[in-house]
Structure formats: structure tokens, C-alpha cells
Amino acid sequence: MTVGVLALQGDFREHAAVLAALGAEVELVRRPEELARVSGLVIPGGESSVMDKLSRAFGLAEPLRDAVHAGLPVYGTCAGLIMLADTVLDGIAGQQSIGGLDISVRRNAFGSQAESFETELDVPVLGAPPVHAVFIRAPVVEVVGPRATALARLADGRCVAVQQGNLLGTSFHPEITGEHRFHEHFLRMVSDAKFRGAAS
Ligand code: GLN
């Protein structure tokens, strides 16, 4: 099973290391030909406005949109979650997203880098123990539309993890804390999607 990591910008190496540790073949994706070879894709954390510009400059934005609509499993963390959101609040002028997730996310919802924080988060779909979640200039999911499901909320009720069919997103960064359960969950989504593809 070959899983891609969008490698235009951000912490793609950390994601690649987790996926490889879980036994996946990893392909770094910078070009449409590389995207065409993968059965799933991780969009890393970084800076969504830069990722947006680079994905358009590299001719990847449209192929990414097509892949999402065709049902490619995609997991976005932080900036990656912003890239997957149908609506981005507080984006820079002209910022676009790939979209697919029926959510509105607010960029930098917790303030600047200095306001980054860590917390324990209950994620029922992953079971116990709670996830140690690191938020770095993180977005928050302000509106969870009817097609998306909240997977985790902060104590104040704000949504920070969502799933919608083949799309998964977290405001925080499991790839930097040794937390592998989100990536395991994602790899199950990838193999389920492959199985369904093989059956049809
Ligand atoms: N604030 C960044 C953005 O808007 C996301 C930060 C991150 O990915 N850690 O893209």
C-alpha cells in the first residue's frame, strides 16, 4: 500500500516517518504523476497559505481537488486540515483551499506561536488512553457541517478533529508526539477504500 505525503512545505518528513514505521510504502508527492500513484495522501502541518500557493504553482491544486472528489483518502493535520476545509476563515487575501470537508475552519484560532499549547484529548473513535495533542498556531473547526462528523472536542466544546467519509482532519499534530493511532486509523481508511475499489 503506497501512501503519499504532500511534500511542498511543512512537516512532511515526520508524517513519512510515522507511516513508514506503521509499514506503509511512502511516496513524497510534489507532482501530479506522484499523486496518481498513491492510494492515500497526508497533507502535513506547515503554513496553509504557502501550501496553497505552491500547490497552484506546481499544478497540483486541480489534481488534488479531482482526487478528493474521486474518493482518495486524505488526512490533513493543522495546515493540512485548512487545505481540506470547504471554508477558510481568516485566510490571507486570495487564499484558496482544496476543500472536500464540509467544515469552516478559522486559521490561527488560538493566537500566535507563543500561544501554542498541549492537552490531553478524548477521541472516542481511537479509544483509551486520551491523545496527547500539540496545537501549534492551530486552526479550530468553527462549523461542522451536516456531512462531517466531529471526532474530538476541547473541554470548551470547540471541535479539533473531524472525519467525513474518506477525509480525516486534525487541528493538532500526532506526527510529532509518537502518537500513531490517527495514522493507523487513516491506513485502515486507505485499505478499506482500496478494498471497495477492488470490489467495484
Ligand atoms: N497557522 C498555520 C496555517 O494557517 C497552520 C499551523 C500548523 O500547521 N501548525 O496554515
Beta strands in the chain (DSSP E): 2-6, 25-29, 40-43, 74-77, 85-89, 101-106, 117-121, 131-135, 140-144, 149-153, 159-164, 167-170
Task: Give pLDDT, residue 195.
Answer: 77
Angstrom distance (rounded) from CA 13 to CA 18: 9
Q: What is the CATH number of the domain that holds 156?
A: 3.40.50.880
pLDDT at 200: 52
Q: Which atom of ligand 1 is nearest to the CA of 51?
A: 10
pLDDT over threshold 70, residue 151: yes
140 Cβ closer than 6 Å to some ligand 1 atom:
no
Q: What is the mean pLDDT of residues 162-177?
A: 97
Residue 101 belongs to what domain range? 2-199
- Judge if ipTM > 0.85: yes
**Ligand 1, residues 9, 53, 98, 107: which to mutate, most atoms within 8 A of Cβ?**
107
Catalytic annotation, residues? 78, 173, 175
What's the whole-number mean pLDDT along residues 40-48? Answer: 98
> Average of pLDDT values for 184-195?
94
pLDDT band at 197 (very low <50, low <70, confident <90, very high): confident
136 lines ligand 1 (CB under 6 A): yes
0.80 exceeded by pTM = yes
| Domains identified in the chain, total number | 1
| pLDDT exceeds 80 at position 6 | yes
Residue 87 has pLDDT above 90, yes or no: yes
Is it the case that residue 112 has pLDDT exceeding 90? no
Q: In which band, very low, low, confident or very high, does the pLDDT at 63 lie, cut at 50, 70 and 90? A: very high
Which pLDDT score, from 0 to 100, does residue 188 have? 98
Q: What is the mean pLDDT of the chain?
A: 96
